[in-house]
């Protein structure tokens, strides 16, 4: 979606994050237009006509989900502790799929993870955009921005 419209040459990091957008957009459309009841139009693969869509095609969405380790042991969010501990947070891809006739269900934690994923996509888009504009204007790109961090 961003390719060629906002960014002429998206980075690998941006291309990876853009993959989430298509599935999330399809889920959003199903929720908004069909009250979350998955129909043929929702599972239709890109570039395939509706009459070529198969009954076993699914609506698939991917987003990042936080993974929290407390002293090396995974804990589920929300989590509260008053003890001192070493906490590590990283993000892993989370895949959801729905078949035709299924009702989309998205939990509050899913919504939070989707918001974090979209924020990360926006940050990467901004980084790529700034890099392209700086190059166009002849402004050197800082080393940390070039790496996507």
**Residue 54 located in a structural domain:** yes
Domain count, the chain: 1
Tokens encoding 112: 């939070």
Q: Binning pLDDT at 50, 70 and 90, where does residue 68 land?
A: confident
Range of the domain at 40: 12-63+94-142
pLDDT at 149: 52
Per-chain mean pLDDT for the chain: 87
What would the pLDDT profile of 2-30 be if each residue is shown by its tens digit? 556 678 888 998 988 888 888 999 999 99
Comparing CA positions, the residue from 23, 14, 36, 15 lying closest to residue 94 is: 23
Compute the Cα dihedral for 109, 111, 113, 115 and give only its sign. negative
Percent of the chain at pLDDT > 70 equals 91
Separation between Cα atoms, residue 64 and residue 109, nearest integer Å: 11
pLDDT at 86: 85
- Answer yes or no: is pLDDT of 1 > 60: no
What would the pLDDT profile of 89-124 be if each residue is shown by its tens digit? 899 999 999 999 999 999 998 999 999 999 999 999
pLDDT, average across residues 121-142? 88
**Residue 77 located in a structural domain:** no
**Residue 6 located in a structural domain:** no
pLDDT at 96: 95
pLDDT at 15: 87
pLDDT at 97: 96
> What angle is formed at CA 46 by the lines to CA 94 and CA 59, rounded to 5 degrees?
40
- Answer yes or no: is pLDDT of 141 > 80: no
**Residue 44 located in a structural domain:** yes
**Residue 88 located in a structural domain:** no
**Residue 26 located in a structural domain:** yes
Tokens encoding 34: 């069909």
Comparing CA positions, the residue from 67, 108, 65 lying closest to residue 89 is: 67
**Residue 70 located in a structural domain:** no
């Amino acid at each position: 979606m961003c390719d060629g419209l906002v960014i002429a040459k998206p980075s690998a990091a941006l291309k990876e994050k853009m993959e989430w957008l298509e599935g999330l957009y399809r889920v959003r459309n199903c929720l908004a237009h069909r009250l979350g009841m998955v129909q043929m139009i929702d599972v239709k693969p890109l570039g395939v006509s509706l009459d070529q869509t198969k009954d076993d095609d699914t609506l698939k969405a991917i987003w990042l989900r936080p993974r929290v380790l407390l002293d090396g042991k995974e804990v589920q969010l929300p989590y509260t502790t008053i003890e001192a501990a070493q906490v590590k947070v990283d993000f892993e891809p989370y895949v959801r799929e729905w078949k035709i006739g299924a009702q989309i269900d998205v939990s509050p934690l899913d919504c939070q993870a989707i918001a974090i994923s979209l924020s990360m996509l926006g940050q990467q888009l901004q980084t790529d955009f700034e890099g392209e504009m700086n190059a166009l204007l002849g402004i050197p790109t800082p080393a940390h921005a070039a790496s996507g961090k």
